[in-house]
């Protein structure tokens, strides 16, 4: 009898330990309700390529109820909502999240007139920060997103340097030749800051001497190479 009592006491202790262990890890099975920006922490809205930019947001848990992610937008460069950009989804400072969704996008539209013509040199930065005012707390990571608004992509001849193993001649036609490898080297930028040169080797894959190509981006929306 005494031995059975000892066995029962040990079994009870073990069961208590098991249940206690399950309770100990409950917090890992139910993460806190948080919102974050997915994958990236920044991007560029290049007006020459389009005026719409989608900033993806995600949350930690789904729900059958509609919810909102609260955020603020500030601009160290002075961009103003309604003047330089518009919010195309939800309302100012709140992104609605439909039932059962865990990912959606805050869509921002640039106002083209603010980044073209006489304003083509303007560059703005938007700092988008998730706030605790809505149904979610800001995530411990990726809670801030930096979006740059500008007219065109930056052009730098040095970024063209390298090997191009998939060079094609007359691609998509019966006369297509390639792929073969060309290389770009020796970038220069002229004093005007809007033109430069690069050197291209092995054009047409026939052993030509290195050729100098002239790049001009005085009109950044339509750069040329000759």
Residues 6+ apart with CB under 8 A from 23: none
Residue 32: DSSP 8-state: -
Q: Are strands 162-169 and 42-46 parallel, antiparallel or unpaired?
A: unpaired
Alpha-carbon span 103 to 39, nearest angstrom: 12
- What class is the 34-150 domain? mainly beta
Residue 190: DSSP 8-state: -
Other beta carbons within 10 angstroms of residue 50's beta carbon come to 11
The domains of the chain are located at 34-150, 157-225
Buried/exposed code over 3-42 (b: 16+ C-beta within 10 A; e: otherwise): eeeeeeeeeeeeeeeeeeeeeeeeeeeeeeebbbbeeeee
Beta-strand (E) ranges in 88-132? 94-97, 103-110, 123-130
Phi-psi region of 162 (alpha: psi -120 to 50; beta: other; left: phi over 0): left
Residue 117: DSSP 8-state: G
Q: What is the pLDDT of residues 50-74, one digit of tens each?
A: 889 999 999 999 999 999 999 999 9
Q: What is the pLDDT of residues 182-192, one digit of tens each?
A: 999 888 888 88
Q: Which of 188, 191, 193 is nearest to 214 (CA)?
A: 188
Alpha-carbon span 97 to 209, nearest angstrom: 59
**pLDDT tens-place values along the chain, 226 residues long:** 544 444 444 444 444 444 455 555 555 566 788 999 987 778 988 888 888 999 999 999 999 999 999 999 999 999 999 999 999 988 889 999 999 999 999 999 999 999 988 998 899 999 999 999 879 999 988 899 999 999 887 778 888 899 998 888 888 888 888 888 999 988 888 888 888 899 999 888 877 778 898 988 777 667 888 8
């Amino acid at each position: 009898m005494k031995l059975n009592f000892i066995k029962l006491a040990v079994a009870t202790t073990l069961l208590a330990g098991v249940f206690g262990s399950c309770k100990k890890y409950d917090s890992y099975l139910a993460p806190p309700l948080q919102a974050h920006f997915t994958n990236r922490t920044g991007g560029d809205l290049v007006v020459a390529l389009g005026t719409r930019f989608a900033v993806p947001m995600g949350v930690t848990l789904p729900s059958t109820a509609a919810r909102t992610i609260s955020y603020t937008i500030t601009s160290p460069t002075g961009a103003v909502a309604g003047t330089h950009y518009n919010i195309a989804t939800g309302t100012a400072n709140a992104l609605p999240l439909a039932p059962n969704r865990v990912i959606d996008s805050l869509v921002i539209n640039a106002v083209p007139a603010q980044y073209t013509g006489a304003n083509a040199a303007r560059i703005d930065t938007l700092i988008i920060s998730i706030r605790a005012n809505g149904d979610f707390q800001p995530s411990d990571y990726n809670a801030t997103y930096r979006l740059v608004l500008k007219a065109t992509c930056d052009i730098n001849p040095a970024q063209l340097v390298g090997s191009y193993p998939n060079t094609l001649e007359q691609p998509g036609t019966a006369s297509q030749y390639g792929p073969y490898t060309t290389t770009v080297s020796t970038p220069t930028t002229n004093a005007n800051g809007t033109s430069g040169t690069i050197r291209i080797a092995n054009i047409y894959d026939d052993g030509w001497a290195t050729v100098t190509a002239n790049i001009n981006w005085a009109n950044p929306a339509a750069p040329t190479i000759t």
